[in-house]
Chain A
Amino acid sequence: MIGEALAISAFLFAIGVFGVLTRRNVIIVFMCVELMLNAVNLSFVALAKLHGVAGHVFVVMVMTVAAAEAAVGLAIVISVFRHFGTAELSALRHLRDEW
């Protein structure tokens, strides 16, 4: 049971990494990061069956940080979209203000 859950978690994490590496749309890359966070959460919950309830507490923390990250990240996406007129990662080449 725990071994299967950990294997599912590994597959989900790998799928998330594949998405981050192959997509260019900022929002989809973001959602792949969320998928990776979910995979790690599944590992935490599975191992909590062996090591006690601390794993569940970690999952609560991860979810809070994920919510904060989504809020700030999507605000950055909106800001970038206003600036460049696109949400493609390949359009973001400069750190300076004008381009």
Chain B
Amino acid sequence: MITFFEFQFYLFGVLALASALLFVTRRKPVSAALWLINVMFALSGLYVMLDAPFVAAIQVLVYAGAIMVVFVFVVMLLNLGDSPVSDARGTAVQVGAGFVTLALLANLLVVQRGPRASVASAPDAENAVTPVAVSLFTDYLLAFELTSIVLLVAVIGAVVLAKRRARP
């Protein structure tokens, strides 16, 4: 007998996998993007059930709310919505890619069966953000600061790359 919690967990898992399969088989970029957003919402649900509500919140805010909007924006900016021919490669490539994918999947599933050493989990805090914040601003402070430089470089790079260059 599975509990209600387990039922919900499997529901979100199946939702994520089904949406991912639909995403990878859609022809139009906009419908693919919308299915990918669905995957991200399902993953957010899984994060909540895995005791990571903060990660779930920023998954919705950053991934579904910011990154995917940029994708949809670029698709519409470039007017890629209705291409007459499919962009999928030929049957031979698809069969080969299927074999590669199945080999990789088998590999991953076998690796995951290995022994998992259990380290003492983080103590239960009163709210969800405190343990992440403490870890982020003490142990990983340098990485956190470097992240801001990464974002700055990305912004400058995006502006330089997308700028329309004057024709000589």
Which residues of A are in contact with B by a Cβ distance under 8 Å? Answer: 1-8, 10-19, 21-25, 27-28, 30-32, 34-35, 38, 41-42, 45-54, 56-57, 59-61, 63-72, 74-79, 81-82, 87-88
Contacts and interface: CB of A to CB of B under 8 A. Distances in A.
A12 B39 contact: yes
Contact of A42 (B21, B43, B154): B43
Interface residue tally of chain B, by bracket?
Answer: 35 or more
A70 B159 CA distance: 13
A23 to B, nearest CB: 6
Given A38-B43, A51-B119, A70-B67, A24 B89 contact: yes
Contacts of A56: 52, 54-55, 131-132, 135
A52 B150 CA distance: 26
A60 B101 contact: no
Given A52-B121, A70-B67, A35 B21 contact: no
A75 B158 contact: yes
Interface of chain B: mostly helix, strand, loop or mixed: helix
Nearest to A73: B158
Given A27-B74, A52-B122, A79 B162 contact: yes
A38 B62 CA distance: 12
Nearest to A82: B164
B54 A27 contact: no
Contact of B116 (A5, A50, A53, A69): A50
A44 B80 CA distance: 34
A79 B121 contact: no
Given A25-B29, A74-B71, A45 B93 contact: no
Mostly, the A contact residues are helix
Contacts of A24: 87-89
Contacts of A34: 36, 63, 67, 71
Interface in B114-168: 116-122, 131-132, 135-136, 139-140, 143, 147, 150-151, 153-155, 157-159, 161-162, 164
A45 B50 contact: yes
Given A12-B20, A22-B89, A71-B70, A4 B162 contact: no
A87 B36 contact: no
A54 B67 contact: no
Contact of B105 (A14, A31, A67): A14
